[in-house]
């Protein structure tokens, strides 16, 4: 039997039971992919992150993310969570950690009492043909439809419209693995913009706080508002606040992480 450490922390959280919980499992070497997926399914959180030490491309660790259903290409909150575990719990000897991932090199560094995450920017483009399942899935029609290669992006006029959405998850789940970002100006909440994120095809009905969605949100709102530094709030039931910045082709996300659980997994 093999024993694996596990940490569960709330990322982009102002207090415990807020933000987005992520499981983090440090490994000395990789387990079979089926075992990694089974652990993520057993945890039943939006993402479980696994990392192993590496010394290539300037990285400190190779990082992978699994939802309860699939391995994914990019996850912001579980990257922030992994950085927190290394910098604040496992005694990593520097103030900045570099991860090698499917989405390239990602960094997490100390930012006062918080942490700052660096991700690739991906500005959404106009969507020419809106799938019927997307229209039916959201119900209330937005002002504008946009998209990237792996996410749909719906813009509403008011934050209240985003808050009141009650999506048809069966319809959204038929969108061939694409997630759905919905957003609106955030004046009613005292921030620059609000958002929610749905990705039932990946085993997550609504993600509480989504770093990868802000790879789209920050470039969009920076251009629309004419400012590169923006305050964001993801208005899921758990809520998550992000301090964001567009820096060329990168998005920087700042937020706090609150520890919840540490333990041990036993696998064959």
Distance from C-alpha of 52 to C-alpha of 29, rounded to nearest angstrom:
6
Query: How many Å apart are CA 157 and CA 52, to the nearest integer?
Result: 44
Is 47 known to be catalytic? Answer: yes
Q: Encoding tokens for residue 23?
A: 């499981």
Residue 80 contacts residue 53 (beta carbons within 8 Å) = no
Q: Which of 28, 47, 71, 143 is catalytic?
A: 47
Look at residue 15 and give its three-state secondary structure. coil
| End-to-end Cα, the chain, rounded Å | 5
Distance CA 214, CA 218 (A): 5
Distances, alpha carbon 239 to alpha carbons 77, 83, 200, 233, in Å: 13, 21, 19, 7
**Tokens encoding 265:** 């997994």
User: Could you give the residue numbers annotated as active site?
Assistant: 47
């Amino acid at each position: 039997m093999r024993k694996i450490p596990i940490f569960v922390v709330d990322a982009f959280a102002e207090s415990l039971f807020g933000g987005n919980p992520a499981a983090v499992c440090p490994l000395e070497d990789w387990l079979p992919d089926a075992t990694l997926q089974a652990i993520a399914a057993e945890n039943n959180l939006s993402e479980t992150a696994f990392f192993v030490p590496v010394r290539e491309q300037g990285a400190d660790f190779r990082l992978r993310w699994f939802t309860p259903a699939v391995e994914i290409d990019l996850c912001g909150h579980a990257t922030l969570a992994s950085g927190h575990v290394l910098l604040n719990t496992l005694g990593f000897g520097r103030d900045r950690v570099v991860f090698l991932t499917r989405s390239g090199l990602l960094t997490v560094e100390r930012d006062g009492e918080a942490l700052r995450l660096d991700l690739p920017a991906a500005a959404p483009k106009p969507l020419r043909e809106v799938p019927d399942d997307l229209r039916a899935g959201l119900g209330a029609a937005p002002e504008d439809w946009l998209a990237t290669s792996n996410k749909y992006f719906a813009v509403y006029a008011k934050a209240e419209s985003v808050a009141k959405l009650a999506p048809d998850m069966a319809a959204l789940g038929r969108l061939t693995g694409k997630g759905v970002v919905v957003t609106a100006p955030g004046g009613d909440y005292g921030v620059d913009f609000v958002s929610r994120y749905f990705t039932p095809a990946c085993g997550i009905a609504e993600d509480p706080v989504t770093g990868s969605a802000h790879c789209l949100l920050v470039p969009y709102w920076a251009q629309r508002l004419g400012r590169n530094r923006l305050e964001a709030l993801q208005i899921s039931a758990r809520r998550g606040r992000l301090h964001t910045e567009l820096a060329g082709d990168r998005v920087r996300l700042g937020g706090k992480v609150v520890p919840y659980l540490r333990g041990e997994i036993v696998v064959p």
